[in-house]
A = this chain, B = another copy of it.
Amino acid sequence: MSLLKIGIAGLGNVGEEVAYQLIKGFRVQKNLFKFELVAVSAKSKKKKRKVDVSGIRFFDDPLEMASSQDVDVIVELIGGDEGIAKKLCFSALQNNKSLITANKALIAKYGKELAELAEKNNLFFSFEASVAGGIPILKLIREGLIVNDITKLTGILNGTANYILSEMEEAEKGFEEVLTDAQNKGYAEANPAFDIDGIDAAHKTIILSALAYGKMPSLENLSIQGIRDITLNDIKYCNELGFKIKLLGNSSISKNINGVEELFCSVKPWLIGKNYGLSNVSGVINAVQIESSLAGSVMITGAGAGGEPTASAVLADIVDFANGTKLFSFGRKAYDIKNNFQTMPYKEKFKFYLRLNVVDKSGILADLTTVFKDYNISIESVIQKSNKKDKTAELVIITHKASNTVLDDALRSIIKLDGVITKPVCLNIYS
């Protein structure tokens, strides 16, 4: 049992907790493995922290730590897909240090390259904490379901967005108000764009797709829609109709008639029927549902963020490394991962929820239904709520099944109609 020497770069929420646990010690460490925190790097050396790291070698420059003789594994907890985090990760592997990171943006972008480098140099490289915090979802796919062909992944992958949607319903408040509350409570960042515009969930969806199918779409190629346009009224209408609105990261793979594998991948808000497990996942909780060839449907829920849950995942990687676990980071040789894999528009047909704000005048519904008729989209139900004061009306339309592309075309015509005030909100209904 040789001693594993650990260097942590970044002592924020997660880094601080990882350092604390390593110094304090935990059950498994005492019995089975030996590791020691030998180096840290952070912006401030003196900042008051949960754990005293003054006895640990401090590097102002994390890159220096990555080339230090005395370190076996770099734990990168700085974040960001470029800049210092990227330099550090590549530098660590180039300097024959193993690498553990929680950096989803970096893995989504450079995961394959990093895995290739790790494999070439025979190093341990893992990133359990990059997706869904304390939920060991990567290990689940990579090892627990390893003999399964995975065909579909659906995840509530961003706790902030899920909290906002849950809280809007719970507290009957609008999006902006709940967002401000969430920021005050520390559930949302000062700049919440990554969370509420779906970017963070997209990074995680890309990583999950890599693990599940060996295919990594690029962020630019992903259809991404956030939750900014969802109103309290949307949530109320959906509730009445038996649905919850959830921001889902979604990816699935199937073969077309020529036997070519096609990847479907998106991040957007969906309506989910209340009988689906995912509809009951509320607040900051994350969940991932996996469809697999032998084990069938497996769903796991848990804390998707926060210092302690994320540290749990980072530390599990450290124990795996200390245990000598031979790891293909993405469950297969890096060579077999297809980078920048092209995603396809959904072929499957869905029902849709549309909410339109229109001028309350005669003929508008006739104009709308004519457009639907032109595009061969049948309507299942309509709710119209008039606002006498400003002579507008809110129209909610549930369609029968139609393809996303046809619906997008119809929407382009609808926007041009006289009397349609704002861009309609259009959400797929999960089935």
Q: Which residues of A contact B (CB under 8 A)?
A: 17, 21, 26-29, 31-32, 128, 133-136, 139-140, 143-149, 277, 280, 292-303, 306, 308-309, 311-313, 315-316, 319-320, 323-326, 328, 331-333, 336
A99 vs chain B, min Cβ distance (A): 19
- Copies of the polypeptide in the assembly: 2
- Which residues of the partner chain B approach A128 to less than 8 Å between Cβ atoms? 144
B296 pairs with A333, CB closer than 8 A: no
A294 pairs with B319, CB closer than 8 A: no
On whether A147 and B325 interact (CB within 8 A), knowing A294-B134, A296-B308, A309-B294, the answer reads no
- Which residues of the partner chain B approach A320 to less than 8 Å between Cβ atoms? 143
A316 vs chain B, min Cβ distance (A): 6
Name the one of B28, B292, B332, B336 contacting A146, with C-beta atoms under 8 angstroms.
Answer: B28
In the docked arrangement, what's the CA distance between A295 and B135, Å?
A: 7
- Which residues of the partner chain B approach A336 to less than 8 Å between Cβ atoms? 31
B147 pairs with A143, CB closer than 8 A: no
In the docked arrangement, what's the CA distance between A295 and B55, Å?
A: 28
A298 pairs with B298, CB closer than 8 A: no
19 contacts across the A-B interface (CB closer than 8 A): A21-B294, A128-B144, A134-B292, A135-B298, A136-B143, A136-B144, A136-B145, A139-B140, A140-B140, A140-B144, A147-B319, A277-B301, A292-B312, A293-B308, A294-B312, A295-B309, A296-B302, A296-B309, A323-B326
Name the one of B32, B135, B143, B280 contacting A333, with C-beta atoms under 8 angstroms.
Answer: B32
B297 pairs with A303, CB closer than 8 A: yes
B277 pairs with A32, CB closer than 8 A: no
B326 pairs with A134, CB closer than 8 A: no
On whether A300 and B298 interact (CB within 8 A), knowing A319-B146, A326-B323, the answer reads yes
Other than the given A32-B328, A135-B295, A139-B144, 7 more pairs (CB < 8 A) read: A147-B315, A147-B316, A277-B277, A293-B308, A296-B303, A323-B326, A324-B324
Closest to A292 in B: B312
On whether A299 and B301 interact (CB within 8 A), knowing A136-B143, A149-B27, A325-B326, the answer reads yes
- Which residues of the partner chain B approach A324 to less than 8 Å between Cβ atoms? 324, 326
A300 vs chain B, min Cβ distance (A): 4
- Which residues of the partner chain B approach A27 to less than 8 Å between Cβ atoms? 147, 149, 332
On whether A312 and B325 interact (CB within 8 A), knowing A136-B143, A136-B145, A280-B280, the answer reads no
A98 vs chain B, min Cβ distance (A): 16
Closest to A137 in B: B144
Name the one of B294, B300, B306 contacting A308, with C-beta atoms under 8 angstroms.
Answer: B294
In the docked arrangement, what's the CA distance between A328 and B324, Å?
A: 13
A28 pairs with B332, CB closer than 8 A: yes
A134 pairs with B333, CB closer than 8 A: no
Name the one of B26, B140, B332 contacting A147, with C-beta atoms under 8 angstroms.
Answer: B26
In the docked arrangement, what's the CA distance between A292 and B313, Å?
A: 12
